[in-house]
Structure 1
Amino acid sequence: AFGFLLLGSLVMSMPMVSADWLSVGEAATAVLLVMRLEMHVFTLLFSAGDIQHALTALGRAVALGKIADDDIVADTELPTVKPQPTVEIKSLDYAYPGGAHVLSDVSVTLKAGTTTALVGTSGAGKSTLAALVAGLQYPTAGKIVVDGTDTATVPNVWISQHVALITQDVHLFSGTLRNDLLLAKPDASDNELLTALSTVGLRHGTPAWDRWLPKGLNTEIGAGNPEVGAEVAQQISLARMFLRQPPVLIMDEATSEAGSEHAEALESAARAVARGRTTLVVAHRLDQARVADRILVMEAGEIIEDGDHESLIALGGHYARAYAQWEHGTR
């Protein structure tokens, strides 16, 4: 935009000087003033980007606020779900609008109360499958059945109540740690909150607690307050899930800080939260897959291997080769 403006000034000034409409000095002054507009033009363009981003965020917030109004049908009895439901994925296809297929005829059953790990190369479709099960996207074809209920036949609110997704993008709400946790379970007592934090490895007297949460549940966190460590933020996010107790839990890079010295604590926290529910883990680290009850290997939107750690190692296929490379790289 600025380039066209400057070039236009130069092109226009030449015939105007030739026709004696402007002096050379006046034309040079005009070009100099245009050059000084550069910073203002770029500031305007950057501000336009911020405004577009803000409008998109506002639209998402309004959409979330309207879910309850749009989805819940009065006097309609919604189905209940067992604490450990079976999740059936039937002939699932998905393609982004105007794009190629991401998933093709994916069919798999997640057994009740088990932990299933999704592994594969980047772009294999792991996160897309997780988002579809969580109800964040709608399949192009096929269906997802949770404890006998087709998720396409129930409101989004029902899905969000029974299927929870936790990712690496952790948000801490501004206020005390107590208020942040109470968003997951408003009627929880302080003892329940402390139990949830202890379950994910945050307990009084530990180095992480003393450093990042010196005032315990009264510690101010979130925007406008001192930042806590990335691993602690993820533990707080996992504690919310422990309080919420969703029947189906999906974790996509929920322990992304596990590559640091906090690996064992975060992996232990994730296992504790996954216990007692049907869990799907998008495993970007193969030590997450190793402890899962079942491993699904994806490639180009399809499941190409299915089994537990020992059986897939014995198979000698994609997973075995990837695990050998990963194990060698961690030594």
Structure 2
Amino acid sequence: MLSVMPHSFIYIELLLISIYVIESNIRLIELLLKMSISSACSSTSVSKILNLSPPKASILNSLNSFTHLKVTPNLKTSPSLSLLFKAHNSSFQFTPIKHNQIQSMFTGIVEEVGEIKHIGLSQSNDSSFSIKIKGSTVLQGINLGDSIAINGTCLTVTEYNSKSSEFTVGVSPETLRLTTLTDMEPGSMINLERAVTPTTRMGGHFVQGHVDGTGEIVEVEREGNSLWFKIKTTPEVFKYIVAKGFVAIDGTSLTVVKVFDATECCFNIMMVEYTQQNVVMPLKKVGDKVNLEVDILGKYVEKLLGAEFVGAVNK
């Protein structure tokens, strides 16, 4: 005699549910075909168009016998398939899948150089800090709540005026503490980049717009049409800087050329002529500060190789 293993019931359950779903999908296809053929269908309910009837009792009985889920079709109001299954004696319930919104991310390819028109307490709310910026390219397709990188800092658009080519972003106290935004003033030029979309080309590297700290320009040297910048930063940021690796400086994706001694905490980059013409960094001089964001990959590697992980491996 053959014995049925417990997991066999799961397979039977999934098979019967699949049959039911396929049957329901066929009916939906019939609906679409009939709606495309007859315009009169637009004023008729779905159930009347297809003359929908509950699935065969044998299928429902089989489903209810093999699973805790009770199939209760309710096709009068044409619900989505995911709502046809309701939990029986359980808090479990199928719900429609909701796609998560794309998180803000940037490429480090500056779209335009904007100008700060106002920076300080919000003109509409004296308890918050905001920055009003003039820019044109980044306002194309803009909506309230969208993210724009301001010198590499991801900030949210709270107001915008397409006619005057101006928009406003809110700034939190933590952002002010970690970035160079407090050094800005009306008339300051800044790098601007909109968050990427699914169709954006990744010309730089993955930039989150989460500034890790600041650096200070300690040396600027020209070689032909290119510029060398030597930047000094803190040990906390410097440990993630590697030669030939990526770093975002004021939101610009650049390649680290050389990493100096750890006691110096310096590294340098070289900027070609085209980049010089499209970002704000060449306007800065020795002693000026810049926002720095390291490659997020280094942080994940550090966490994986932390003391707890190493200890687990040694065991």
TM-score scaled to structure 1, two decimals? Answer: 0.20
- Whichever of the two has the greater Rg, that structure is 2
Q: Structure 2 length normalisation: TM-score?
A: 0.21
Say which structure is richer in helix: 1
Quick one: higher RCO (CA 8 Å, sep 6+), 1 or 2? Answer: 1
Q: Which has the higher strand share?
A: 2
